[in-house]
């Protein structure tokens, strides 16, 4: 948690931005690049979306919002946000509503899904206590459809 508080996600987002630029130059890429992040990586994708106006799509699974919500108006990429039930994931559940309000105010193209009765890490099939196959399957189907829409 100490690295997070020191802004490490900002450095990770800068690294991801460099990766987006590198991917976009690859001959086998159609010029469109999307990014997916789970948990801590979802927070990185939220930061990346604010930092890289060339990102074509971002998918977040239960990641924290950008550290500074003032950057939300900079987001140009459509976002798919998959969040756990805030009654179970109380930490992230307490902070993503303010993110949604900032997204609305900035007129960002986003889709938010809250998976009732699913906890943080609901898509992680290595965590049997939290894995929720029905929620994970629906979220993954939505992810595939979203990326197909924005990356083809």
Task: Quick: pLDDT tens for 36-85.
Answer: 999 999 999 999 999 999 999 999 999 999 989 999 999 999 999 999 99
Tokens of 143: 């992810």
Coil, strand or helix at 30: coil
Q: Domain total for the chain?
A: 1
80: β partners: 59, 111
- Catalytic residue IDs: 39, 85, 120
Cα 59 from Cα 142, distance rounded (Å): 10
The pLDDT value recorded for residue 1 is 46
Cα 132 from Cα 137, distance rounded (Å): 8
The pLDDT value recorded for residue 13 is 85
38: β partners: 61
CATH number at residue 51: 3.40.50.1820
Domain extent, residue 119, equals 2-151
The yes-or-no verdict on residue 31 having pLDDT over 80 is yes
């Amino acid at each position: 948690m100490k690295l997070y508080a020191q802004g490490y996600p900002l450095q990770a987002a800068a690294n991801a931005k460099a990766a987006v630029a590198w991917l976009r130059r690859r001959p086998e890429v159609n010029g469109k690049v999307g990014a997916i992040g789970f948990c801590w990586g979802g927070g990185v994708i939220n930061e990346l979306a604010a930092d890289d106006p060339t990102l074509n799509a971002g998918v977040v699974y239960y990641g924290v919002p950008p550290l500074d919500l003032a950057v939300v108006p900079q987001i140009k990429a459509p976002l798919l946000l998959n969040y756990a039930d805030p009654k179970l994931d109380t930490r992230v559940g307490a902070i993503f509503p303010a993110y949604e309000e900032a997204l609305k105010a900035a007129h960002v193209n986003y889709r938010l899904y809250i998976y009732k009765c699913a906890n943080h890490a609901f898509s992680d099939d290595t965590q049997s206590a939290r894995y929720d196959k029905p929620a994970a399957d629906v979220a993954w189907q939505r992810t595939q459809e979203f990326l197909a829409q924005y990356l083809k």
